[in-house]
Amino acid sequence: MTMTAPPIAMTEPSLWRQSLGLLWRDKFAFVAVLFLLLVVFAALFGSTIFGQSATRINLAARNAPPMSMHLGWHYVLGADSLGRSILARIAVGTRNTMMVAGLSVIASLLIGSLLGFIAGYRADWTTGVIMRVADVLMSFPSLLLAMIVLYVLGAGIANLVLVLAITRIPIYLRTTRAEVLEIRERTFVVAAKVMGASPLRLVWRHIRPTVTPTLVTIATLEFAFVMLSESSLSFLGLGIQAPEFTWGAMVAQGQSYLGTAWWVAFWPGLAITLTAMSLNLVANWLRIVTDPVQRWRLEARSSSNGGGNE
């Protein structure tokens, strides 16, 4: 009867292949992931490929406009006021840009979610203290707070990471707490509790897996946000200091040549925009894929493509 086709479709492909297939169906997310892979590649190997031309001063190429191919392919995006190739500097600057954002996101994710589990699970004074401290941090514009703290502690990579991590902790804290408060009332958690699971086991084995997808999505979004904050701080001169540089610091450096050599500030800013946008697209895709209802919609859409649907 109609039992001929299903057996092939019923075999569950591995989780990895499944998500790869879902990714391929969302072309924007697919391109975004490719771009992020390129960024990761630049962060890992940028300085080995371009190490020399990112720092070598070449006065013959001062403010060379983009497509100055006669100077070599390194100068395809032009050169800055000291004749350093902008392409090389963007590639080398990737590592610092990604490192600051990545470390801050990891630090605030770990601390924030840990505090969130505590504040969600316990209902005593610790929760009150944690939530009030989060309120203090949330009640004030993060960039302004970071400016003050960085001026006190001095600018530098470690302090930058510290400030960015601390100002973003409340996001994870609040999300985790809200999720924990809701999940701990669900039947499967209550059942585990009745069967004698310890609080630690309850949180780790039963509650955490349900919260993780949300946290991963938020961390992806936050990566973009933190990267933009870092570049704003570096742009204002309170972030990373020379000779180290990030994309934000490169834009700051190009600001004074805006009228004569726009490309010095333009390309690093474009790199920031494209990376942040890719992260947002991927976070968007993650949200759809990890939500069963929306995921079903995505799968249904692609299978109905043959039927001439939009």
Partner 1 sequence: MNGYVTKRMLHSLISMMGLIILVFFLSRLTGNPSDLYLPIDTPADVRAAFSQAHGFDDPMIVQFGHFLANLVHLDFGSSMRLERPALNLVLEAFPVSLTLAVLAMALALVIAIVAGSLAARSPNGVLDRFINVISLCGASVPNFWLALVSVLVFAVWMRWLPTSGMGGPEYWVLPVIVLAVRPCGLLAQVVRGSMISALSSAYVKTARAKGVSQRVIVFVHALRNAMLPIITVAGDQASGMINGAVVVEVIFGLPGIGRLMMESIQYRDFAVIQAGVILTACAIFLLNIAIDLAYALLDPRIKHA
By CB under 8 A, residue 109 contacts partner 1 = no
By CB under 8 A, residue 251 contacts partner 1 = yes
Amino acid residing at 263: W
**Taking the complex as a whole, how short is the minimal distance between the CB of residue 190 and partner 1, in angstroms?**
25
Binding mask 281-300 for partner 1 (x = CB under 8 A): x--x------------x---
By CB under 8 A, residue 185 contacts partner 1 = no
Amino acid residing at 139: S
**Burial level of 97, CB count in 10 A (0-12/13-18/19+)?**
buried
**Taking the complex as a whole, how short is the minimal distance between the CB of residue 125 and partner 1, in angstroms?**
14
By CB under 8 A, residue 303 contacts partner 1 = no
By CB under 8 A, residue 307 contacts partner 1 = no
By CB under 8 A, residue 69 contacts partner 1 = no
Cβ closer to partner 1: 207 or 272? 272
79 forms bridges with which residues in the sheet? 85
Of 5-44, binders to partner 1 (CB under 8 A) are: 28
Instruction: State the CB neighbour count (10 A cutoff) for residue 207.
Output: 24
C-alpha torsion 283→284→285→289, nearest 10: 100
By CB under 8 A, residue 141 contacts partner 1 = yes
Phi (first) and psi of residue 248, to 5 degrees: -60, -40
By CB under 8 A, residue 280 contacts partner 1 = yes
**Taking the complex as a whole, how short is the minimal distance between the CB of residue 248 and partner 1, in angstroms?**
7
Phi (first) and psi of residue 79, to 5 degrees: -135, 160
- Cα 129-132-137 angle, rounded to 5 deg: 125
By CB under 8 A, residue 190 contacts partner 1 = no
Phi (first) and psi of residue 2, to 5 degrees: -95, 25
- Given a contact cutoff of 8 angstroms between Cβ atoms, the answer to whether 50 and 236 are in contact is no
> Among 39-47, 66-74, 127-135, 189-197, which window interacts with partner 1 (CB under 8 A)?
127-135
Burial 268-300 (b: 16+ CB within 10 A, else e): bbebbeebbebbbbbbbbbbbbeeeeeeeebee
**Taking the complex as a whole, how short is the minimal distance between the CB of residue 139 and partner 1, in angstroms?**
4
Cβ closer to partner 1: 75 or 247? 247
Separation between Cα atoms, residue 86 and residue 141, nearest integer Å: 33
Q: Interface residues with partner 1 (CB under 8 A)?
A: 28, 132-133, 135-136, 139-144, 147-149, 151-152, 224, 228-229, 231-232, 235-236, 248, 251, 254-255, 258-259, 262, 265-266, 269-270, 272-274, 276-277, 279-281, 284, 297, 301, 310
